[in-house]
Structures are given as structure tokens and as C-alpha cells.
Structure 1
Amino acid sequence: MYKNMLSGYPIQILSSFIVSLGILSFGLGHLWVAPAVPKLLNNDGNGDDTPVQISEDEGSWIASMELITLPISSLSTIFLANHFGTKNVLVFGPAPLVISWILIYFAQNVWYFFIARILVGLSEALFYNCGPVYIGEISDPKIRGVMLFLIPVFFNTGGLLSYYFAYVLSIRTFALLSIIPGVLYFVLFIGMPHSPYYFIIHKKYKDAESTLRFLRGKDYKEGELKLLQEAVETEMQNKVNIKTVLSNQSYRVSFGIVLMTMSFQQLCGSTAVASYLHYIINESYVTHNTETVALIVGIITVCGSLTSTFWIDRKGRRPLILVSLTASGILMLLLAVWFTLKDHGFDLRSYDWLLGTILCVYQFFVNFGIINMSFVLAGELFSTNTKNYGTSTALIGYGVFGFITNKIFLFINSALGMSYNFYGFSFFSFLGVLLFYIYLPETRQKTLVEIQEMLQQKKKKLPKMEMKVVNNESVK
């Protein structure tokens, strides 16, 4: 009975929303460092309900530990996803998060926080390796872009909740409350369907047909399963290793683009600014309450993600990324100039509203494009036999560059000044504009099979192919 009511778009949307609820629980943990690190730096054992006080160096490790674990945890996720399927792995995505909150609740020294952040990194690998793949495989091309955009929207919603409540609540109280979304996700997601790709890979064709009919509903077309089966089995016959990745056109392009997207997401400063938001506000001598400014920035961040959902399948992926990085370059340059003037003795307290505005507009645009697009492209560009390897490789780049930017942020601030961080983020943002303009293809409203056919075109140079695709899309 319920299957008839939910078949088609309803089950695709419901499954995507529940996966995104898991992402929200991760967002709470990921951006907890922004309000928590300043608290722990200034903690004298009496101001909060945790007895732990940390140094600035320990604070940078807490902010970075999650990211440096991604290379190892991502490779582990490949094994798990290949053997048990993306849905089965996603079911247990919140487990490391729940354990991390328990450790934070009972923390007696800084090592509790280090281990908790490592567990957050494991959960990040599970969700970001398997979440985009699962949603990409169950969603119809007409809504796939919007469904994939739910991931950053819910992630930023979790971040918004963390920005405010982790600041106004005690560390232990917030840790206890943050367990709830992960447990709720686990209960709800168990009943969601597997991807038809999972059943085809395991040669369970009746289950694949049943699931595909359920997911497509009245839009199911006879012969669709056969086409999907042929495409998947052809791809699965091609075993993936470094040699095949380097020798195959579509593999090189998809790996390169997603790795580049994940890397520039970090190099433009998105994670560093989000992780040290409260610290940046405190250092700028803004006269308004830190939690008020952080709350507004968090709300604008969610608005950026929501706005992009209305444009991604109307204008395409390329325009959103190019606009996003261009705005990031300009705004990071303005922020660098602000701190340069401050370091040279200029009194900017009368213009503190300007810094808050720059941070808000910056968060809007990076979430409007480059951050959200990482998840969309990871769910679209990889073929069936490379999805798990591809997203894991991309997360390694995300983790390495994220660790570098987070770890050196406080060091650069102490050694050279806050402004040098933002000059660097501005430079890499403009470099990203150039590279994405040249190499990024358009995938709007294309099936996953059509995208692979596009990437496999070898006779035309990629930039020309991309321009043709964009022109075709604009004509439509």
C-alpha cells in the first residue's frame, strides 16, 4: 500500500531528505569547532562544564584533526562500499559521530577532543563518499541536481545550529543534544531502498527491476532496466587501477574535475573561514556580540545553499561555480585589505558592519557554487566502477588541502598577520576561475549514462566540447 503512495518522485525525495538528515548531524560536529575552540582557549575550568583548557596550537589540531584522517578513512570506505553497498554503509554513518559526542561529554583532557575529531572525520568519509553516490543513483535526472544540493543545505543547517547553540550552551549540554539527529537518521534510513545499481552489480536482477519500478513510479519505461544493466555491466568489466585511470579519457576527466573542485573548495578558504569564524570575528574588534554575527553568517550560509537549488537545473553547473569563485576572490581580497588596515593602526570600529557584511556575502557565494557543486559533480561524473574510488580520491584532496589551510591559519595569523590568510584565499579563488572555465563540462539534465558518453569523446578537445555543451544548454 505505502509503496504505491511513495513510488516515483516521493520515495526519491524522501530518501534524499533522510540522507541529508544524516549530513545535518555531521554538520553539527564539523562546525562545532568554530564556537568551541575559542571557548576552550579561554576556559579556566570554571566558565564551562568541561575542565579542559587548550593552547592555540592544540586548538589548531582540534580544528584540523578531522581533515587529516580523511585519506585513511576514505580508502577504508572504498572497501566497505564495494563489499556492502552504499546504502548499507550509510546506515552506520552516524555511529562515529555519536561516539565522538560521548567522548566530548566526558572529556577530561585534550586527547578526548583529538579522538572525537578523528571519529568525525570517519563519519565525514562515510557520508561524503556514499551520500552523493546513493542520491545520484536513485534520483531522476530532472531532480537529481536539486536532490544532491540537499546535502550542503542540510550540512549548512547543522552548521548554523552549531554556530549559535554550541556558543550559548555549555560544551557538554550541546554534545548531549547533538546525539539526537544521528539516532533519528539511523531509525529512518533503515527502511529506505537500495540503489538499482547495487542489485545489478550483485546480479540480483529481479530486485533491481522491482527497485527501479518503485523509484520511477509511473515514469518507468520498459527496457530501462536492460539499458542500465548493459551500461553497468560494461563499466564493471573494466577493472579500475591507476593505469586505467590515466589511460581512459572519461576517468581522467571525471577524477581530475572532482578532485579539482574539492581542492579549490578548501583553497578558497571555505572550511578555514567556517572553522575559525568566531575567532575571526573576535580578532576584528567587531563591537556586536560574536554569537549574533555568527548566527547571521550561518543564516546567510543556508540561504546561499537554498538559492543555488533554484538555479542549478535552470542555469547549469558551470555558471554557478564561476560566479562563486569570482565573488570569493573579490571578497577575500576585501577581507585581507580590512585586516591590513587594522594591523597598520587604522580604527575600523565605526565600520565593523562592513566586515560582517563581507563575511555574509562570502559565505553566500561559496555555498551558492563551489561548496555545493562538489557534491553534485561527485554524484554525476563518475562511472559505476569508479564512483567509490573517485569520491574517495576527491575526499583525500579535500582532506589534505583542508588540513593545510586549517592547520596553518593560526600560525600565519601569529607569524605574519591575519590578512595574509585572506590574500592567499583570494589568489586561489581567481586561479580556480581560470581552471574551471577551461576544464569544467556542463552536465545539466543529462542522465548518468549520457554524462559518461560525453566524457568519453576523444576526438574533440575538452574545452571545445565544453563550450559546445554550454551553448546547447543555453539554447534550450
Structure 2
Amino acid sequence: MLKHVMKNPHKVLPQLLAAAIGSWGFFCTGLVRGWSSPGIPSLNATKNFEIESSDIAWIASVPPLCALIGALLATYPLQHFGRRRTLIGLSIPFFIGFLLMGLTYFGRHKAMLYVGRVITGLVNGALTPASQIYISECSSPHIRGVLSSLTASALALGILTPYIIGAFVDWWTLALTLIIFPVMLLVGMIFMPETPIWLMANKREDEARRALQRLRGKRTDIDAEFVRIKENQEKNDKKEHKIQPRELLKGSVLKPLSISMGIMFFQQFTGINAMVFYTVNIFKSAGSSIDGRYATIIVGVVQLIATAFSGFFVDRYGRRILLLGSASIVSCSLAAMGSFFYMQDQWGPELATEKLGWLPLLSLIVFFIAFSGGYANVPFILMGEMFPARYRSILGPLSSSFNLCCTFIVVRSFPTMQITIGKYGAFWFFMSCTLAGIVFVYFLLPETKGKTLEDIEKIFSAKYDAAGVLKTAEMQADNSLEVKITPSALSDDIETNKPNDGNLRHQKSKNSGSVALENGNQIATFSLKPITDSEEEDDGSLVAAPL
């Protein structure tokens, strides 16, 4: 990323600014999640305020439950109002939600607290896909991974902020303090452009060109990229204007959606949000000598630093390696955490704390470092990358809502799990899920590093393998070979020339024995036949005539 900034600052900095402001939506999401850890113990300690133990679990878990609905509701404004205006509009109810939570202390009605949590939860669900799609559609392919990973850093910073403030103030003061941040999102997005892809999809071609020029810098030649965006939209326009439900059942749509949902499932069932929502309580249960509030801040700082650094590796090492490495270390941390609580059951709390009192904090620090290195940002990057442009406004909220559904299940069930299968059983359950996630990623997730959004769409076409290279070919009755060729299948060791007869002549690669056709940026179907001796010397060349 730094190399690109130093080499082309005029091209990268506008995109970096758009991504930074767009990722503020994830920062606000982090505020809602982070409020619970210091807020709930403070709420319990408040005098003359009726709150029951059953309320605590619901106050913690209501936002992800409502976010599930919010993510589904985000589809309409994302399609019809655009990514930018959706983010602007969402900042207003977010402000209202935190305001109601803070005023609950004066009104003394816990219903106000519930309403505030419901509103912030609904907004959270819509903010996640809106922010991720905005950043993905504003970014160049070679830095899209780094810029998209800003969302994870913003989320970590959003979680850390109430950790720090909540260590010194009451729950209601914390809520009132946090209302400033959605205002910052509103003001920032007012000065940002809409995404060129959404503008092009809505027949605003001139505005799309201006937005693309602004995002790439005034001195950057955007003609090639603009033509690519336009051609891709024209291809989408040839299909039915209104998306039909049956279209969502196509393999090219179901494959990326299923993979995205699978990764979202395994992300949440690492137990990440059980750790985030109940950090203070976990440290109290472990009998740690460190004050739970300050241990939580330590963990939050470590998570933020690790997440920030991980963004620089996304486009260097790819999505698959980061996810596999992240999950491997996370599973070890969960195993260690579960082992501590098992020893606590076997030896008794005092002896376990005396011998292994350092293990809970160390395990959580390693857990958050490892999680931040891959699972924190890659699932959301993939959500913005893998979905076809035509369906992105629908599939993004669907995947996000599924993520939030898993979040609700984990957060709501974690206290019950600790009672039914023990604290160690809960952590070992999450460890088992994380190990299963390694298998899922290894066998099913294709690499998307460095690919354009258009090329990523081709990965999920039945004719192409995970690298976007030709996978299948059909031998016809006349012994000709019918194939579909994409430019990404071309390799450097293939020689190409274009004769004047309108055909495309190609020579077989001696290294791979593959055949490739060049056809600009379009997928084309050709019939391939060997060149006869009368046409050209028998050198293994082929003549390709468009069908």
C-alpha cells in the first residue's frame, strides 16, 4: 500500500480518503458491540434502576438480532438511493438510538434502553454491507484488498473506543458520549462521491465518469477502466431489467453466496463476539488479578494494532492464506482457554489462578491477534468482491444478515453454554468450529487477490476453474473444439497474430499444450480447427473462426 502511495499519490490518496470515510460505518458498528462489555457491568451496579438477570442477555444480544432485519432492509436503499446516500441516511437513526440509551437513566424506563438498542441494531445491519460495497466499488483492483481491510481496523477501533471511555464513566454517560460519531459519518459522506458502478447502473454516465476521475485523480487516464465498467454494465442491461427470484438460484450466484455465508458462519463461530461482548465477565470468571476493565482495554488495543497491520498483507499473501493461518492460531488459543477453565474445574479456582493465572489474558491476546490477521477483515472483503455486480445490492445484505444471525446465536447462547457444557466446553466447541472452517476454506474458497471485480465474476462460471482459466471443452461432431475463452486464460508463452481474413491464428504453447484466444475484454465462443497444409505450414497452429 505504502509503495503505491509513494509511487502514485495523486491516484491512491482520493481512494484512501473515500475508503477511510466509508469504513466509518464499521466504526459505528463497533461502538454498539463495544458498549456491552463496560456498559452491562455498570448497568448492573446502578442503584434504583430495575434490571433483571434475564434483561442482561437480551440487552447484549438485541442489536445483532435486529441487525439481521436491518441488513435485509438495506437492499432497497442501496439499489435505489445509492451507496453514498444510504450511508448518510443511516447516520441519523444511529444518533437517535444512542441518545435514547443515554436518556434512559433520566427516564428510568428500561424500555427506552431496549428501543435504543433496537434502533442501533437495525442501523448496524444496514451499515455493514453499505460500507463494504461502497469501498469495493470505489477501489482499484491492485489496492482493493488493503482499502477494504480498513473496515476491520475501523471495527476494532469502534470496539476499543467504548472500552476506554467506559472504564471511567457510567453506562449512560458512555452512550451520550458516543452520539458524536454518527454525526462524523454524516458530515464525511456528504463530501464523498457516489460509486461509479452504481451511477453507471442508473444511466448516469457523465456522473460516473466524473466520480471515477475524482477517485483516480485528475491526472490519471481513466478511459480503459471506464470502458470496462461501461461494457460490464451493458452486459448486465441485456438481461431482464428487474431481477427475478429464479436468477438467484443460478450457480454463478449461489456459489459465491454459499461460500460467503460459509465463511461468515465460521467467522462468528470462532466465538469472536462472545469474547467482545463478555470480555469483562470472562476475566472475572477466570479470577484474573488484573481489573477486567483494564484487561479489556489491553485486549482491544492489541486487536486494533493487529487488525491495522493485517491490512498490508491482504494483497501480498492473498485471502486464502490469511484465513487459513488466522483460523489455525485461533483454534490453538481457544484450546488453551478451554484448558484453563477445565483445570479450574479440576483443581479449584484458587489453585488454577495461582498456577495458570497468566493464561487467560495471554490466550485472549493471541486470539485477537490471530483473528485480526485474517478472519476480522477477509470475510467482508470477499463479500464486496465475490458477488456479481447485478446482484451485489441483494447478496451483500443477505450475507451480512446471515453473519448477524450467527452473531445473535453466539452472543445469546454463550451464557447458557457455559452453564450446560461448562466454560471449557464452550471454548472447545468454538475451537471445533474453527477447525472445520479450515477445511471449508482450503477446499472451497478461490483466491481473488489482484483480480478485477469482472474477472472474479468469471471464476464462478461453470466453464472456468478457480483461477479464471478454461476448465472444460466440448468436442463437436466435426472434430472441432468448442470452448469459451477469457483473456485471463492467456499466458505469456503463447504467440498470437491476427491475419487479414478476420480469423484469429494462435500457436500452441510448447510448455502447457493449451490453446488461448485473444478477444479484448469479452468472453467469446470459437470453433477451433487445425490449419491445413494448403493454408499454412503444419506447425501445430490452429485457426479460430467465431461461431
* TM-score normalized by the length of structure 2: 0.79
Rg larger in structure? 2
Structure 1, residues 83-117: CA drift from partner, whole Å, max 9, x if none? 10111101122222211211111112332222222
Taking a change above 3 Å as real, the CA distance of residues 330 and 464 of structure 1, as seen in their structure-2 partners, is farther
Is 1:25–1:158's contact at 8 Å kept on the other side of the alignment? yes
Aligned counterpart, 1:344: 346
C-alpha separation between the residues in 2 aligned to 1:240 and 1:265? 30
Q: How does 1:62-211 map to 2 (within 5 A)?
A: 62-107=59-104, 108-211=108-211
Deviation at 1:335, TM superposition (A): 0.9
Structure ranking higher on relative contact order (CA contacts 8 Å, 6+ apart): 1
C-alpha separation between the residues in 1 aligned to 2:236 and 2:387? 11
Q: 1:208 corresponds to which letter in structure 2?
A: A
Taking a change above 3 Å as real, the CA distance of residues 461 and 127 of structure 1, as seen in their structure-2 partners, is closer
Deviation at 1:374, TM superposition (A): 1.6
Taking a change above 3 Å as real, the CA distance of residues 27 and 145 of structure 1, as seen in their structure-2 partners, is same
SS in 1 for 2:448: coil
Is 2:447–2:466's contact at 8 Å kept on the other side of the alignment? no
Structure 1, residues 150-177: CA drift from partner, whole Å, max 9, x if none? 1110110111121222132112221222
SS in 2 for 1:407: helix
* TM-score normalized by the length of structure 1: 0.91
Aligned counterpart, 1:48: none
Deviation at 1:414, TM superposition (A): 2.8
Match of 2:280 among 275, 278, 281: 278
Is 1:26–1:97's contact at 8 Å kept on the other side of the alignment? no
SS in 1 for 2:390: coil
Structure 1, residues 206-246: CA drift from partner, whole Å, max 9, x if none? 11112222222233342432221121232353554442222
SS in 2 for 1:256: helix
Q: 1:226 corresponds to which letter in structure 2?
A: V
Unmatched 5+ stretches in structure 1: 46-50
C-alpha separation between the residues in 2 aligned to 1:8 and 1:103? 42
Aligned counterpart, 1:39: 42
Match of 1:397 among 399, 402, 407: 402
Structure 1, residues 374-426: CA drift from partner, whole Å, max 9, x if none? 21111111121111211111122112211111111111223332222111100
C-alpha separation between the residues in 2 aligned to 1:396 and 1:176? 27
Q: 1:145 corresponds to which letter in structure 2?
A: G
Match of 1:368 among 368, 373, 381: 373
Q: 1:213 corresponds to which letter in structure 2?
A: Q
C-alpha separation between the residues in 2 aligned to 1:440 and 1:465? 18
C-alpha separation between the residues in 2 aligned to 1:409 and 1:54? 20
Is 2:125–2:401's contact at 8 Å kept on the other side of the alignment? no
C-alpha separation between the residues in 1 aligned to 2:116 and 2:339? 36
Structure 1, residues 249-307: CA drift from partner, whole Å, max 9, x if none? 32122111111121111111011111111111111100111122111100111122112
Is 2:166–2:174's contact at 8 Å kept on the other side of the alignment? yes
C-alpha separation between the residues in 1 aligned to 2:470 and 2:66? 37
The structure carrying a bigger helix percent of its residues is 1
Segment drifting more, 300-309 vs 411-420: 411-420
Aligned counterpart, 2:271: 269
Unmatched 5+ stretches in structure 2: 1-7, 472-487, 492-547
Is 1:257–1:440's contact at 8 Å kept on the other side of the alignment? yes
Q: How does 1:208-223 map to 2 (within 5 A)?
A: 208-217=208-217, 218-223=219-224
Deviation at 1:178, TM superposition (A): 0.8
Aligned counterpart, 2:20: 17
Is 1:95–1:123's contact at 8 Å kept on the other side of the alignment? no
Q: 1:356 corresponds to which letter in structure 2?
A: L
C-alpha separation between the residues in 2 aligned to 1:453 and 1:38? 50
Is 1:22–1:181's contact at 8 Å kept on the other side of the alignment? no
Aligned counterpart, 2:324: 322
Identity of aligned residues (%): 25
Deviation at 1:454, TM superposition (A): 2.0
